[in-house]
Structure 1
């Protein structure tokens, strides 16, 4: 997993040339126009090695517009067709990268990226614009196209402040191309919205951002209360997780193994994208919890003791009891039986995943995986004990929902916390462990 605010060049591969109008000038002419425009600003640099598309220009040879004074956002110019949008940003825009927004001081307008549950937004849009619509809208059909057109042309949920004469107004609009180019915000399909705040008067970018946060946050809360749309402003602290996500297979074979019904249902509930990440994480954890009695019984038999409390965790746990009477030690037993050291090593070869799980700033107050000093896993390292501790630590931070925090004052991992939105890598990890546990205890079908 990585912070997408680093603007990885690979993200730009999502943009197709035909998303923009056919170019009317050559690529070199477009670059020269941008260089001339950037020369009027101290915080913009146009980088290009002079190769033209006719000379076999590759994506790494594309020109880049870099906003050096605004935290480093950049635009890769893939085609001269993008020129009008890039010109608008370079000519009159001020990036606000901490909020994935652009401020246009001369127009007094800020457009900002939104994240959240787009399905709820789509439903709210249908209820507002098509109140007689009784069925769900096919976003790929004509009605969905109509909604996208309305959002692009007029916006939705517009409110204005007229009493004080400020002329401020707020509305949701489709993501403008220049915002997409700067921050790669095409996520969510044709109906992914952005916030447009008009009537902004501010002396500098910092004050403009404060205005955006103050009015935008309140507006989105009001929208959530009135319409049920779960949307929020982007925050540069968000880490959305590995773009690769779980490895899904397109091959589905006739069943040969029988899986336990209850954990299969829990696993299915965890896969529901509409659920909150914390809920999804807990469903996967419940799969592991389901197999704790079986794992403990196998350890009791393997260790040749009479009672579960006499059996010990397969992992050394300095400073505390290793008895299988403890849920954490039972989790150790599940993981030790369900997944091998080599399988875990294979999972952690995903550099993005390992980088996140070894970063103490992503999910705090839980176990992090030790690296070799260069950001890679330890050669031959067995990470199962550390993974078990991390999973159980997240479990405690979620389920001990008491005022004042959990065990020993550990802060809660609340539904609306930043960490709750950073669970992508840990969702992938606990989902993987749940799958392995179900496979381990599956039986052959007749």
Structure 2
């Protein structure tokens, strides 16, 4: 691929399969380029060399960054049907704003029940007709100058630009009749007015919506290479407890912090097993050392350090137990293959990490990455639960719905990969 992943083209929940640019779309592409040129909007074509596939995207403003919108296949035609030049994205949210038309439209999802269940409950309790799921709140005389609220099906503009699964007909919250001229002002309006209504809904209906947070997107082509997959009769048996944690993590796709921790707990389940094996090797080496003396305090201290038992029943501190588990269950070659097999993933881990994040030295082709992987996973685990990492603080706590939480996708993939390898390494023959 010709571009790096630094432009936020990845999705935390699922990959977006894009149809390739085709000859039949040349007229539409020419129109798109003409409109982008007139509006000074960047347009680019990205190539997937392995598949011989290309796709086009346009970069719309999103704060100081850009949000790239796919423009191939049906997405291209939908994009051309709306005045996309008018819109900016609100960074951190699946939301669009038109300064010219004075409105903000943001995706919402239901908590703790489904979005449609909340809409039906609202319709029933507010006396609306069945299947009438549009709700409008106008400001009263005492609130002149404040926005109009509208909850209902998404607009064509929102569906064409945001491109979430099920965007058409997806409920959104619109704030209308706004006077807004910059990104920070729009963000402040969205947070202030949306939170006021959504919390009131929570109190009134015992269920509410939350604003859809921005997702990191990863586009991939619909591959021309079809790989035959054949299921085989199972021969392995897996421990119930760690496997249930693995399934729990897989189900928590929209909750990145919870997902990461569940994969971590799946790995952590086996800490006692592998840390004790590591401790046995250390003790054997110490006792074989001809200079070791049982009557020397420093040697006894080294021995005690090797066999110190943690609260989980493992030997050593948590970081060393994680290292021991990763070293026992993965080999260095397959770990490097994991980083290199996906170009977006490789570019992410090779990029400059934020302060406090352990960097994996991928540029050193001969390096064994296992300890670095363990340290990075442990680093994120500590920042999520806000514990201390040895003598030093691991870094600032990662908050739910923060930008950093949304960009955990690649570290979640890494934790999942390690969890899979640990489950495989600890499996037994199916009885």
Check whether the contact 2:60–2:89 (CA below 8 A) recurs between aligned residues: no
Cα distance, 1:82–1:289 mapped onto 2, change above 3 Å: closer
TM-score computed with the length of structure 2 as normaliser: 0.69
Residue correspondence of structure 1 range 180-199 to structure 2 within 5 A: 180-183=159-162, 185-188=163-166, 192-199=170-177
Structure with more strand by fraction: 2
Aligned partner (choices 261, 266, 271) of residue 292 of structure 1: 271
Report the alpha carbon displacement of residue 344 of structure 1 after superposing the two structures with TM: 0.3
Corresponding residue number in structure 2 for 1:142: none
Q: 3-state DSSP class of the match of 1:271? A: helix
Higher relative contact order (CA 8 A, sep 6+): 2
Report the alpha carbon displacement of residue 200 of structure 1 after superposing the two structures with TM: 0.8
State the alpha-carbon separation in 2 of the partners of residues 81 and 277 from structure 1: 27
Cα distance, 1:209–1:406 mapped onto 2, change above 3 Å: farther
Check whether the contact 1:118–1:192 (CA below 8 A) recurs between aligned residues: no
Residue correspondence of structure 1 range 71-220 to structure 2 within 5 A: 86=80, 88-89=82-83, 93-96=86-89, 98=91, 101-105=95-99, 107-114=101-108, 120-129=114-123, 154=134, 156=135, 158-162=136-140, 163-166=142-145, 168-183=147-162, 185-188=163-166, 192-203=170-181, 207-220=185-198
State the alpha-carbon separation in 1 of the partners of residues 150 and 390 from structure 2: 40
Report the alpha carbon displacement of residue 347 of structure 1 after superposing the two structures with TM: 0.7
State the alpha-carbon separation in 2 of the partners of residues 395 and 178 from structure 1: 39
Paired positions, count: 382
List per-residue Cα deviations over 1:61-96 (Å, max 9, x = no partner).
Answer: 97x8776898656767657997786364157x2424
Report the alpha carbon displacement of residue 31 of structure 1 after superposing the two structures with TM: 5.6
Cα distance, 1:109–1:411 mapped onto 2, change above 3 Å: closer
Cα distance, 1:337–1:213 mapped onto 2, change above 3 Å: same
Q: Name stretches of at least 5 consecutive residues in structure 2 with no aligned partner.
A: 46-51, 222-227, 288-301, 309-313
State the alpha-carbon separation in 2 of the partners of residues 29 and 258 from structure 1: 54
Residue correspondence of structure 1 range 5-404 to structure 2 within 5 A: 5=8, 13=18, 28=27, 35=34, 43=40, 86=80, 88-89=82-83, 93-96=86-89, 98=91, 101-105=95-99, 107-114=101-108, 120-129=114-123, 154=134, 156=135, 158-162=136-140, 163-166=142-145, 168-183=147-162, 185-188=163-166, 192-203=170-181, 207-223=185-201, 226=204, 227-232=206-211, 234=213, 239=216, 252-273=231-252, 276-303=255-282, 304=284, 309=304, 311=306, 324-349=315-340, 350-359=342-351, 361=353, 365-372=356-363, 378-400=364-386
State the alpha-carbon separation in 2 of the partners of residues 397 and 258 from structure 1: 33
Report the alpha carbon displacement of residue 367 of structure 1 after superposing the two structures with TM: 0.9
Check whether the contact 1:309–1:325 (CA below 8 A) recurs between aligned residues: no
Q: 3-state DSSP class of the match of 2:165? A: coil
Corresponding residue number in structure 1 for 2:225: none
Cα distance, 1:88–1:278 mapped onto 2, change above 3 Å: closer
Report the alpha carbon displacement of residue 432 of structure 1 after superposing the two structures with TM: 1.5
State the alpha-carbon separation in 2 of the partners of residues 284 and 80 from structure 1: 36
Check whether the contact 1:7–1:74 (CA below 8 A) recurs between aligned residues: no
Cα distance, 1:77–1:97 mapped onto 2, change above 3 Å: same
State the alpha-carbon separation in 2 of the partners of residues 438 and 326 from structure 1: 22
Cα distance, 1:121–1:412 mapped onto 2, change above 3 Å: same
List per-residue Cα deviations over 1:301-350 (Å, max 9, x = no partner).
Answer: 4342679855499xxxxxxxxx9421211111110010000110111112
Report the alpha carbon displacement of residue 419 of structure 1 after superposing the two structures with TM: 2.5
Residue correspondence of structure 1 range 400-415 to structure 2 within 5 A: 400=386, 408-409=392-393, 410-415=395-400
Moved more, 107-116 or 388-397: 107-116
Q: 3-state DSSP class of the match of 1:195? A: strand
Cα distance, 1:215–1:383 mapped onto 2, change above 3 Å: same
List per-residue Cα deviations over 1:328-378 (Å, max 9, x = no partner).
Answer: 11111110010000110111112222333344556x523122243xxxxx3
Q: Name stretches of at least 5 consecutive residues in structure 1 with no aligned partner.
A: 18-25, 49-57, 132-145, 314-322, 373-377
Moved more, 249-258 or 392-401: 249-258
Cα distance, 1:269–1:5 mapped onto 2, change above 3 Å: closer
Cα distance, 1:232–1:346 mapped onto 2, change above 3 Å: same
Cα distance, 1:328–1:44 mapped onto 2, change above 3 Å: closer
